[in-house]
Amino acid sequence: MQGEGSERSMTRRDLLRMIGLSAGGAAMYQAMNRLGFAADSPYQGPPALQGAPRGTSVLILGAGLAGMVAAYELRRAGYTVQVLEYNHRPGGRNWTLRGGDTYTELGGDTQHCQFERGLYFNPGPWRIPYHHRGLLDYCKKLGVPLEPFVQVNYNAYLHGADAFGGKPQRYRTINADYRGHVAELLAKATRQSQLDAAVSKDDQALLLDSLRQWGALDQNYAYAAGATASNRRGYDKPPGGGLSAKPVDSRPLQLHDVLDSRLWSNLTEGETYEFQTTLFQPVGGMGKIGEAFGRELEAVIRYNAKVTAIQQDEHGVTAVYEDARHPGRSMKARGDWCICTLPLSILSQIPMNVGASMAAAIGAVPYAATVKIGLQFKRRFWEEDEDIYGGITATDLPINTISYPSNDFNSSGKGVLLGGYLWGLNAYQFTAMTPGERIRRAVAYGSQIHPQYKAEFENGMAVAWHRVPFTMGCFAAWSDEMRAKHYQNLCQVDGRIALAGEHASYLPAWQEGAVTSALDVVGRIHQRIVAGASA
């Protein structure tokens, strides 16, 4: 019982929690919630902005999703809006590379995308959770069609360079064998009456029934070769028709081998809140969202505008900018108010007269290093040879992730997959390479999982986010300590300037963070403007 000595018996809640942990998801969810990744979207529709004073202007810096959501809603409310954008296109990190596109990174390396017509690669965001209601709502308003994004594919692979001799294992195999062995151990403990003090006899009977079903155990509560286990982990020879129809059961891996492989560490990703089904992607690439916003706001966005200074006074805000293609001549844009959505990694380098608290917050937040690599192959061998339609293969190789396209299934011709999504030290190492070397390494590493790589590979694109000129990093890498010290100061309206973007949200790295941040700022600035006009 609790409170009696330093030890306590297992309660029913503890037991169920243990089962949940073995199934995956609980511990990862807690960790992601602590980091701010698992927060639910607060979106309940755009704010009501009635009573905008006639002629009031708002200058918006950045035509990423935060800037364009702000411009969309403010213009709809009757404000005069102008947007300055560094790139020649809308969207910011909402970006799709297609055949014919050209991209030059910091340092001068230029890549010319050679993907076949209709194929693409998303260097930035690539999936939308079902509960990111704000982004989904704007897709609906703007007429951006969506299709399912396959996060978990039981026929994709889990791979460890030192596990099983480097041979990739099907996700379903590791998942079934891990669950099966854990269920057998729990069933054994239950049948040996080791849980009598914590679980009633009736609950023990129900628990045993549930473990048999959950772990694919046989009638003796053992996880062993047979039809029940094969129906989870797959067959050595699947059932068919005719004289050769009889299936051949597969043999489960031993518990020690499953545990020692550490491949089980990848079983929970599809169970964490952000990656639970259903996820979506825009038809034709994530950049379709930014492009749709761009068409809607075509009259108010000035492209190729590199902001070099931001100055506010008691009457308004002036942004100094130059043509990003032909720098040297300064121009100015002015608004009564300003919403700045530039990434903090860029904004921290631009002179701006805000208070010390906001300035400290802007300079305090580092940006994550990530690298994404898109590879085009002569054919969709992952489908034709290995029956993998969408989903993700996880590996402990530096490339970390291979994601198979969730569109155009079973089509003939060429295909593009995500050949690497790198984090941490591996991302820094790849960032130091030329784009061509990043691609060569991705092909070499991927060949350890898919031997077809080398013969089928044609071309690729590699984007290292610390070398992307308009962000110099992938997303704001907040810590709990930094949030406690700086987040409130970052989100305040400072004079006539307010900030918005994924960095000003508890959904860092997600487009929903940019959307909800923009709507929050728009609502607060509108209230301040209306209050000032009526004073």
Tokens 């100094």 -> residue? 320
Cα 417 to Cα 259, 317, 379, 457, 496, distances in angstroms? 30, 44, 11, 11, 45
pLDDT tens digits, residue range 387-403? 999 999 999 999 999 99
Mean pLDDT of the chain: 92
Edge-to-edge strand list for the sheet holding 128-129? 128-129, 279-282, 146-149
- One-letter amino acid of 346: I
Q: How many CA atoms lie within 13 A of 102 on its CB side?
A: 5
pLDDT digits (tens, 9 = 90+) for 33-90: 333 444 568 898 899 999 999 999 999 999 999 999 999 999 999 999 999 999 999 9
Question: 24 falls in which pLDDT band (50, 70, 90)?
Answer: very low
Contacts for 295 with CB less than 8 Å, ≥ 6 apart: none
CATH class of 57-86+289-364+480-534: alpha beta
| pLDDT tens per residue across span 223-266 | 999 999 999 999 999 999 998 999 999 999 999 999 999 999 99
pLDDT at residue 16, rounded to an integer: 43
Classified by CATH at the fold level, domain 97-156+277-285+368-467 comes out as Polyamine Oxidase; Chain A, domain 2 (3.90.660)
Query: What are the structural domain ranges in the chain?
Result: 57-86+289-364+480-534, 97-156+277-285+368-467, 172-260
Identify the burial level of 266 via C-beta atoms within 10 angstroms of its C-beta, where 0-12 means exposed, 13-18 middle and 19 or more buried.
buried
* Residue 418 bridge partners (DSSP): 374, 403
Q: What is the pLDDT of residue 42?
A: 85
Q: What does DSSP assign to residue 300?
A: G
Report pTM.
0.90
Mean pLDDT of 88-100: 98
User: Sign (positive/negative) of CA torsion 29, 33, 36, 41?
Assistant: positive
Residue carrying the six token digits 């005069």: 80
CATH 1.20.1440.240 describes domain 172-260 = yes
Per residue in 145-201, pLDDT (tens digit) is 999 999 999 999 999 999 999 999 999 999 999 999 999 999 999 888 877 778 888
Handedness of CA 34, 35, 36, 39 (dihedral sign): negative
What are the tens digits of pLDDT across the range 115-137? 999 999 999 999 999 999 999 99
